Amino acid sequence: MVFSSIIFIYYFLPLLLIAYYVLPRKFRNIVLLIFSLAFYFYEEKNVVLIISCIINYFLGRIIGKNKNKLYLALGVIINVTILGYYKYSNFFIENLNNIASVNITYLNVILPLGISFFTFQNISYLVDVYRGETKAQRSILKYGTYITLFPQLIAGPIVRYKDVDKELSDRKENFDDFANGVKRFVIGLSKKVLIANNIGNMCVILNQLASKTILSHILQAIGYTFQIYFDFSGYSDMAIGLALMFGFHFKENFNYPLIATSITDFWRRWHISLSSFFRDYVYIPLGGNRVSKIKWIRNILIVWLLTGFWHGASWNFILWGLYFFVFLLLEKLFLNKYLKGGIFSHIYTLIIIIFSFVIFNMPNLSSIGEFIKNILGMHNLQFANRETLYYLRNYITLLIIASIASTPIIKSIMKKIQGKKMLNRLIDVAEPICIVGLLTICTASLLSNSFNPFIYFRF
C-alpha cells in the first residue's frame, strides 16, 4: 500500500482516524500498531520486521542494564547481517561468480519492504541507549509502535527513538496539528502525483524515443532530478503530515536542496535523516575531522561508500556515493574558498547534482557511460529534432512549475502575505479551498493514471 493510492486515502486512513479518535486514549498505541502492521502486510509477506523488532527490543533492555559494548556490537552485527542477507547476498554472489568464474547458486530471497529504514532505526536506538542518550523502552508495545509506525515504516524518514520517546507515552493531539498535518499531507501528495509522476512519465517517453538528441538527454537528466526530488520529498511531506495527525512531530527531511550553492550545502538539505545518521553513527565515531588528514579522508570515503551502498545492491549506487565523495573532498580541500554563493556556485552545484542522478537512475555502468557521452555530444547526435521539441513544448510548463516549487519562493510570498491582516483573512478562507481542490485533482489523476511508482520503496 502506498500513500498515493485511493485505497489508502479513502479507505485505510479514514478507518484508522475513526478508530484512533473514537477509542479511549489508552488504546491509541495499540490502534497504531495494529493498523501499521496491516499497512505493512497489505503487500508484504516477510515477517523479518516483527522478528527484528522483538530482537532489538530485548537487546535494548540488556544494553540499558549493562552498558556493555559487546552487547551493542552484537546488536549492530545482527541488524547488519539481516540487512546484508536480504539486500546484498545475491549482489556479492553475482560479483564472485563473475570475478572467480564460478557458478554459485543465487539465494531465493526477496527484499522486505523498508528494511533499510527500520534497520537503521533499530541501530540508532541501540547506540543511543548505550550512550545514555535515551532510556531503554520497557514496553514492547511502545517499541513495536515506534518501529512499525506506518508513516515512516516503508520509506522513511529515519526517525530516531529519542525524538519520539516522550510522544510514544504522552502525546497531545490537537486541532492545529491535525489541520497542519492534513495540509502537509495534501501538499506532499500533490508533489508526488502532480509533479513527480508526470515528470517521471516524461522521462519514460524520452528514454523510448526512436531518434534521441542531446536535448532529449538533457531533458531526461533534469527530469530524473525533479522526479526523485518531488517523489521522495513528497513522501517525506506526507509522512510528516500523517504523523502530525496522530500527535507525532517528525523532523524535516528536506530543506530545498536544489537551491544549494555547494555539494556540502546540498547534503545538509537532502535526505537529512540519512546524512545525519551517517554523521552521528559512522563519521564521528571514526574520529570525524579530529584525526590526521589521511584518516579524515578515509572517514569520508567510508561514509560515502556506505551511503551509496545503502541505496541499493548495485554498482551504480556505489559509484553514486563515490561521485559525491570526490566532490565533497574537493570542496573541503580547496573549492569551498571559491564557492561563496551566487549564481556561479548554484550552477556548479546543479550540474553536479543533475549528473549524479543520471548515475543514480541508470541500471548499470555501461548505460551510465553511454548516457553521459550522449549528453556531452560525443556520439554526434543532433542537438534537437522535431520530436524532441514537441515534447519540450508539452512539458515546459511542468518543468517551470517544478523549478519554482523546488525553491522557497512560494513559502516566502505566503509569509509576506500572512503579515498583512486583511490578506491573512483571505488566506484563512482560500487555503482550505485550495487544499480540497488539490486533493480533488490528485484523486482524479490517480483514478485516470496508472503510472504511480514510489522510487524509494526499493531501498
pLDDT at residue 430 greater than cutoff 70: yes
Asked if 311 is an active-site residue, the reply is yes
Q: What is the largest CA-CA distance in the chain?
A: 75
pLDDT at residue 373 greater than cutoff 60: yes
What's residue 283's pLDDT?
A: 96
Least Cα distance to 8 among 35, 46, 44 occurs for 35
User: In this structure, are 231 and 166 located in the same domain?
Assistant: no
Q: Return d(Cα 233, Cα 254) in angstroms, integer.
A: 6
The active-site residue, picked from 217, 271, 311, 346, is: 311
User: In this structure, are 377 and 238 located in the same domain?
Assistant: yes
User: In this structure, are 203 and 69 located in the same domain?
Assistant: no
CB half-sphere exposure, 143, CA atoms < 13 A: 25
What's residue 343's pLDDT?
A: 92
Per the domain annotation, does 274 fall within a domain?
Answer: no
Which whole-number Å values give the CA distances from 310 to 119, 275, 315, 373, in the listed order? Answer: 11, 11, 11, 27
User: In this structure, are 148 and 210 located in the same domain?
Assistant: no
Would you mind telling me the total number of residues written for the chain in this entry? 459
pLDDT band at 1 (very low <50, low <70, confident <90, very high): confident
Per the domain annotation, does 213 fall within a domain?
Answer: yes
Give alpha helix (H) positions in 8-68: 13-22, 28-40, 48-66
CB half-sphere exposure, 418, CA atoms < 13 A: 9
Q: Choose one of 171, 189, 213: the last residue of a domain.
A: 171
Q: Return d(Cα 453, Cα 69) in angstroms, integer.
A: 42
Q: Return d(Cα 52, Cα 75) in angstroms, integer.
A: 10
pLDDT at residue 457 greater than cutoff 60: no
Least Cα distance to 195 among 222, 213, 163, 218 occurs for 222
pLDDT band at 415 (very low <50, low <70, confident <90, very high): confident
What's residue 450's pLDDT?
A: 67
Q: What is the mean pLDDT of the chain?
A: 92
User: In this structure, are 233 and 132 located in the same domain?
Assistant: no
User: In this structure, are 149 and 254 located in the same domain?
Assistant: no
Which whole-number Å values give the CA distances from 266 to 237, 357, 410, in the listed order? Answer: 18, 13, 20
Q: Choose one of 112, 142, 171: the last residue of a domain.
A: 171
CB 347 within 8 A of CB 173: no
pLDDT at residue 456 greater than cutoff 70: no
Q: How many helices (H) and strands (E) would you count in the chain?
A: 21, 0
Q: Return d(Cα 239, Cα 253) in angstroms, integer.
A: 10
Q: What are phi and psi for residue 87, nearest 5 degrees?
A: -100, -30
pLDDT band at 45 (very low <50, low <70, confident <90, very high): confident
Q: Return d(Cα 261, Cα 257) in angstroms, integer.
A: 9
Residue 167 belongs to what H/E stretch?
helix 161-169
pLDDT at residue 459 greater than cutoff 60: no
Per the domain annotation, does 273 fall within a domain?
Answer: no
What does the pLDDT look like over 303-312, one tens digit per residue?
Answer: 999 999 999 9
Per the domain annotation, does 120 fall within a domain?
Answer: yes
pLDDT at residue 80 greater than cutoff 90: yes
DSSP string of 249-282? Answer: -PPPS-S-GGG-SSHHHHHHHSSHHHHHHHIIII
User: In this structure, are 159 and 181 located in the same domain?
Assistant: no
- Measure the CA dihedral 406/459/224/370, to 10°: 150
pLDDT band at 368 (very low <50, low <70, confident <90, very high): very high
**Structural domain that includes position 130:** 6-171
What's residue 257's pLDDT?
A: 97
What does the pLDDT look like over 129-169, one tens digit per residue?
Answer: 999 999 999 999 999 999 999 999 988 799 999 999 999 99
Per the domain annotation, does 455 fall within a domain?
Answer: no
pLDDT at residue 421 greater than cutoff 90: no
pLDDT at residue 236 greater than cutoff 90: yes
Listed as own residue / partner, the contacts of 355-362 with beta carbons closer than 8 Å and 24 or more positions apart are: 355/221, 355/323, 356/320, 356/323, 356/324, 357/221, 357/224, 357/225, 357/228, 358/221, 358/224, 359/316, 359/319, 359/320, 359/323, 360/224, 360/228, 360/311, 360/316, 360/317, 360/320, 361/224, 361/228, 362/316
pLDDT at residue 315 greater than cutoff 90: yes
Q: Return d(Cα 137, Cα 95) in angstroms, integer.
A: 41
Q: How far apart are the first and last CA of the chain?
A: 16
User: In this structure, are 238 and 377 located in the same domain?
Assistant: yes
Residue type for position 95: N
Residue type for position 119: T
What does the pLDDT look like over 5-41, one tens digit per residue?
Answer: 999 999 999 999 999 999 999 999 999 999 999 999 9
What's residue 90's pLDDT?
A: 94
What's residue 455's pLDDT?
A: 67
What's residue 355's pLDDT?
A: 96
pLDDT at residue 458 greater than cutoff 60: no
What's residue 428's pLDDT?
A: 76
Percent of the chain with pLDDT over 90: 81
Q: What are phi and psi for residue 4, nearest 5 degrees?
A: -90, 55
Per the domain annotation, does 317 fall within a domain?
Answer: no
User: In this structure, are 154 and 18 located in the same domain?
Assistant: yes
Per the domain annotation, does 266 fall within a domain?
Answer: no
User: In this structure, are 67 and 195 located in the same domain?
Assistant: no
Please count the structural domains in the chain: 2
What does the pLDDT look like over 325-351, one tens digit per residue?
Answer: 999 999 999 988 888 888 999 999 999
Q: Choose one of 124, 139, 171: the last residue of a domain.
A: 171
What does the pLDDT look like over 83-128, one tens digit per residue?
Answer: 999 999 999 999 999 998 888 999 999 899 999 999 999 999 999 9
CB half-sphere exposure, 367, CA atoms < 13 A: 12
Per the domain annotation, does 207 fall within a domain?
Answer: yes
pLDDT band at 399 (very low <50, low <70, confident <90, very high): very high
- Please state the rounded mean pLDDT for residues 65-74: 93
The one-character DSSP state at 27 is: G
User: In this structure, are 197 and 255 located in the same domain?
Assistant: yes
Cell of 160: 530516531
**Cis amide bond preceding 157, omega within 30:** yes
- Please state the rounded mean pLDDT for residues 421-440: 84
User: In this structure, are 189 and 144 located in the same domain?
Assistant: no
